Chains A and B, each alone.
Chain A
Amino acid sequence: MKRLATIPALALLLAACDTAPAASFKDASLTLPDDPLDLPEGPGRDAVIENCTACHSPSTMLQQPKVSPEKWKSIIGKMKTLYKAPIDDAAVPAIVEYMVHVQSQPEPGA
């Protein structure tokens, strides 16, 4: 019953449309809202700011589910080898320590 109803609709939708906007292209621009560096205090915070905030907001790290230090090491490895993040090898332990610390804290406001 419902199957039949879709057939005329399909024909209609793919027909030329009178109501469509005429394609007139104006320049477009956008100002993104401020991107606050919302990294809670903790050991290794500076290493994270230096190495991990150029390509994406800190929320990328902070929203992750709780994972092991090994998993953090492998995520950092992926940033480096796949996305070519210029990460200072010497900073990796501090970054891991910070992420593990932050993930052990209760969620702010929860």
Chain B
Amino acid sequence: MTGTRLSRRALIAGAGTAALAAPTFAGMGAKLGGMIDLALPGGPSLRPTTPAFPGKGEMIVQRIRPPLLETPMAAFREGIITPNDRMFVRWNWQMPTEVKAADHRVAVGGAVTKAVSLTLDDIASAGETVSVIAVNQCAGNGRGLSQPRVTGTQWGNGAMGCAKWTGVRLKDVLAKAGVAAGARRVRFAGLDVPLTDGAPQFIKSIPLDIAMRDDVLVAWGMNDEPLSILHGFPLRIVVPGWFSTYWVKMLATIEVLSGEDDSYYVADSYRMPAQPITPDAKDFPTVPITTMPPRALITSHEDGDVVKLGKPLVLEGIAFGGDAALDRVDLVGKGWEIPCTLGPDEGGPYAFRRWQVTLPQVAGDFEGIGVRARNVNGAVQPADFAWNPSGYARNVIERITLRAQ
């Protein structure tokens, strides 16, 4: 392991070869493809787009290495499934770029009756093959829109997508090793390891009762295709209703814990203030990011679009309920709201669902209109943004202005 890690010399050598390339961020756009403006307040807001990643269509490049690719809003204009070539990509540390199926093993250990090392075929035959349609959303989706701004990956709202995930139940895989009495959590690690000794590996854990849910999967299929390297080949965890930070990719280790998880990415990061705070707050208690709140977005129109005065206007978009089914979507303006019609429930409680609303006649500009989703548990999108220092779990009503002409 140490051999592949970075020495200071290797770091400098690596940097040296890269130094030949073009000198500006704008140059990167020219080289890769187009540019897109994410409307991040105060900027920098322009990002290059490229179809150059294998298996991907036109994606917004937040970072090439390790890859961070954002889905352009246009990909959400139709249907409830985000095609594989448009699904966002997020790696914390550089992932391997080659995985040999026959050599891959998933070690299941920790608080188990008998530790086992499973081949991919062992996993595939661990239980019934099941599928679930679920939204996969980065905890930091929309971070770049935070005001005041916060550091981290500056995503617009495209670090999300909805896919059909196919695999076996995690509980069937756990049964191969047997969960021991006193087990509390189940932790996952992938093949993506830090480049430096002593840096925290990206490992994440979920409570045992969540791990045992019927719809929590060890998945190999995404929209009826094998997972690609970018999406976590050969296997990833799927936890419908939970942020994708828990959906560990390139799954290599499953560890049953009998106590709390004190590892960095659970105990120290991916955490939210326990209570709402103001930007100048210091030393407040935090809780881990877990389930997703509801969200809705307008996909038929963008901020600043022109609509026809005196004519009817149809607005459309997507919504999801987060950790519970979507209940309703309302179009909200300043001092008014209109219920939207939900499209058919094609994907179940954890999927995107389409909504639509027709306004009989455009009488003037629509200033700061947005859509507000509510789920069946009564969770509803807030009108005011719950600022937090890491920009997590954004679900404030997103507003746009339409000009009538």
Contacts and interface: CB of A to CB of B under 8 A. Distances in A.
B349 A59 contact: no
Given A3-B327, A17-B131, A30 B228 contact: yes
A30 B15 contact: no
B345 interface: yes
A92 interface: no
B2 interface: no
Given A9-B345, A9-B349, A35-B65, A84 B196 contact: yes
Contacts of A67: 151
Interface string B213-236: 011000011001110111001100
B25 A38 contact: yes
Contact of A65 (B29, B66, B149, B226): B149
Interface string B188-202: 000000111111100
Contacts of B325: 2-3, 6
Interface stretch (B40-48, B107-115, B286-294, B298-306): B40-48
B31 interface: yes
A28 B228 contact: yes
Interface string A64-81: 111100010001000000
A13 interface: yes
Contacts of B21: 34-38
Given A41-B23, A54-B14, A85-B196, A26 B63 contact: no
B226 A21 contact: yes
A83 to B, nearest CB: 5
A9 B198 contact: no
A90 interface: no
A108 B131 contact: no
Interface residues on A, range: 35 or more
A64 B6 contact: no
Interface in B24-42: 24-29, 31-32, 35, 40, 42
Contact of B151 (A17, A33, A65, A107): A65
Contact of B35 (A33, A83, A109): A109
B25 A108 contact: yes
Nearest to A84: B196
A86 B9 CA distance: 9
Interface stretch (B95-103, B277-285, B363-371): B95-103
A59 B25 contact: yes
B25 A20 contact: no
A17 B28 contact: no
A54 to B, nearest CB: 4
A64 B220 CA distance: 34
Interface stretch (B50-58, B179-187, B252-260): B50-58
Contacts of B194: 83-84
Contacts of A63: 44, 47, 62-63, 153-154
B199 A83 contact: yes
Given A32-B97, A57-B65, A60-B63, A107 B43 contact: yes
Closest 6 CB pairs of A and B: A108-B26, A65-B149, A23-B124, A36-B21, A25-B101, A84-B196
Given A63-B63, A107-B45, 19 more contacts: A6-B345, A9-B346, A13-B348, A28-B234, A29-B229, A38-B25, A39-B23, A41-B23, A49-B18, A55-B94, A55-B195, A59-B28, A62-B44, A64-B154, A82-B264, A83-B199, A84-B194, A84-B199, A110-B43
